[in-house]
C-alpha cells in the first residue's frame, strides 16, 4: 500500500507514553488533526480511547496544539496538517 499523506511528528507527554511503547514522539500520517488522531487511534487504540471522550469529541482534559497553537483557535479537529507542522498532545490541567 502506498500513501501520499504527509507525516506529522506528534509529541507525546510522559503520562501517555505507556500506551505507545515509551515513545516521546510518533510519526503519524495525516493531512488534518482529525486524520492524524484517527491514525493514532488505529495504530494505538489504548491511546486513542484516552484522547476521545466519544467518537469525534476530544477528551476535555487534553489539549491539542499545532505549531504551539491550541487547535480551538484554529479549525479544531478540521485544522489542516501539512509538511513541517508539529502536533503536540498536552494535558489541559495546569496553571492558574
Partner 1 sequence: MEMEPAMSYVKSLKSRESGQEYPIEPRTVCDIDFSPVEVAYDYKAMQGNVTRQSIEAGPLSLWRYKDLLPIEGEPKAGLHSGWTPLVKADKLAAELGVKELYIKDDSANYPSFSYKDRVVSVAITKAIEFGFDTVGCASTGNLAHSVAAHAAAAGLHTFVMVPHDLEAGKMVGMSVFGPKVVRIAGNYDDVNRLCSQIADKYNWAIVNVNLRPFYTEGAKTHGFEIAEQLGWKLPQHTVLPVAGGTILPKVNKAYKEFIRLGLVDDNSPVIHGAQAQGCNPITTAIEEGEEIFRPQKPKTIAKSIAIGNPADGYYVIKDILNSGGWAASATDPEIIDAIKLLARTQGIFTEPAGGTTLACAIKLIQSGKIPKDESICVCITGNGLKTLEVMENQFQAAPVIKAKIKEFDEVIVQGNNAAATA
Per-residue HEC secondary structure of 54-73 comes to ECCEECCCEEEEECCEEHHH
Q: Which of 73, 67, 3, 1 is nearest to 35 (CA)?
A: 3
What's the grid cell of residue 93?
490541567
Site for partner 1 in 33-72 (CB under 8 A): 50, 59-63, 65, 68, 70, 72
Shortest distance, position 39 Cβ to partner 1, whole Å: 20
Determine, following the binding rule CB under 8 A, whether residue 22 of this chain makes contact with partner 1: no
Residues lying near partner 1 in the complex (CB under 8 A) are found at 11, 13-15, 18, 50, 59-63, 65, 68, 70, 72-73, 88, 90-96
Amino acid at each position: 500500500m502506498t500513501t501520499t499523506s504527509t507525516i506529522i511528528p506528534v509529541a507525546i507527554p510522559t503520562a501517555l507514553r505507556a500506551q505507545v511503547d515509551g515513545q516521546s514522539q510518533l510519526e503519524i500520517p495525516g493531512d488534518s488533526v482529525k486524520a492524524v488522531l484517527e491514525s493514532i487511534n488505529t495504530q494505538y487504540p489504548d491511546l486513542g480511547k484516552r484522547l476521545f471522550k466519544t467518537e469525534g469529541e476530544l477528551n476535555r482534559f487534553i489539549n491539542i496544539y499545532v505549531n504551539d497553537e491550541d487547535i480551538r483557535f484554529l479549525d479544531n479537529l478540521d485544522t489542516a496538517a501539512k509538511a513541517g507542522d508539529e502536533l503536540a498532545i498536552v494535558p489541559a490541567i495546569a496553571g492558574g
